[in-house]
Each structure stands twice: as C-alpha cells, then as structure tokens.
Amino acid sequence: MQGLRLTLKEFYPHPVETVWQALTDPVAIAEWLMPCDFRPNVGHRFSIRGAATNNWRGLTECVVIEVEPPRRMVWQWVSADIPEPTRVCFELEPVDGGTQLTMSHIGMTTQADIESLSQGWPMKLKQLCTFLSNSD
C-alpha cells in the first residue's frame, strides 16, 4: 500500500452557490461524475456506480462525513478494490470572476488505484466545468 495525496485546483467562472449545487445535486453529479444516490447530509451512505474497469468493479460506497454549505464537503470513499477507506474533500472559495475548487483525495491505497484516481479525477473535474457551462 502507498499513500495517496491527490490535490487538484480548478477555477470555474460561476458563483460558489452554482458550483455547490453541481457538487450536491444527485442529478448533476450523475452528469459530471457518475450516477449515485447522494444526499448532502452527514452520515448519509451512498453509492457511485459506473462501468467496471480493470482496476474498478464499477461501484464505490461512500459516506458523507462533513458538509458545510456552500464551502466544504468530505466523503469517505470505500471501494472493494482498495484495502482501506480514503477521503475525498471538496472545498470552494469565492474568487474574482467565479469559484476556486480544491479537491483532495487522500488515504492509503494501491499503486493501481493511485494511477486510476490520478487520471480519473482531472477528467471528472473537466466534465464538471462542461456541465456548469451547459447549465447557464
């Protein structure tokens, strides 16, 4: 096992409330991330579902562990493909002309999972940008 410490920063030319809505609405999440049964309530257990790959069985179980609307949200990420839960954190900051999103995925996992997440999350955050632009 190795330590995963993936931190990505993205600027979105949209207000914090708009970005927050895209991060917390299950219909929006299905558009930019994957289908899920998410609710922004601490303790809520939800599943993210998608097409299985060589490194992922197509299902990740998550638990909402922090919600501070519209600024911060943390999920525990539990996948059968990795030995221990990891954490995903979304932090929003209003900046001139829009919102700065800092997304972190941290924990102990496998090298294959690190490689997969390091490729997947940047793509998903770009899909979030596209979703936001198409929602205007």
3-state SS, 44-83, equals: CEEEEECCCCCCCCCEEEEEEEEEECCCEEEEEEECCCCC
Write down the pLDDT at residue 66: 98
Task: Please state, in angstroms and rounded to a whole number, the distance separating the CA atoms of residues 84 and 133.
Answer: 36
In the prediction, which pLDDT does 136 show? Answer: 74
Query: What is the pLDDT, as a whole number, of residue 69?
Result: 98
pLDDT at position 84, please?
85
Tokens matching residue 1 = 């096992």
What pLDDT was estimated at residue 82?
A: 76
As a CATH number, domain 9-108 is 3.30.530.20
* DSSP 8-state class, residue 133: H
pLDDT reported for residue 58? 87
Size of the chain in residues: 136
Average pLDDT, consecutive stretches of 10 residues, N- to C-terminus, the chain (136 residues): 92 98 97 96 96 83 97 92 89 98 94 88 97 90
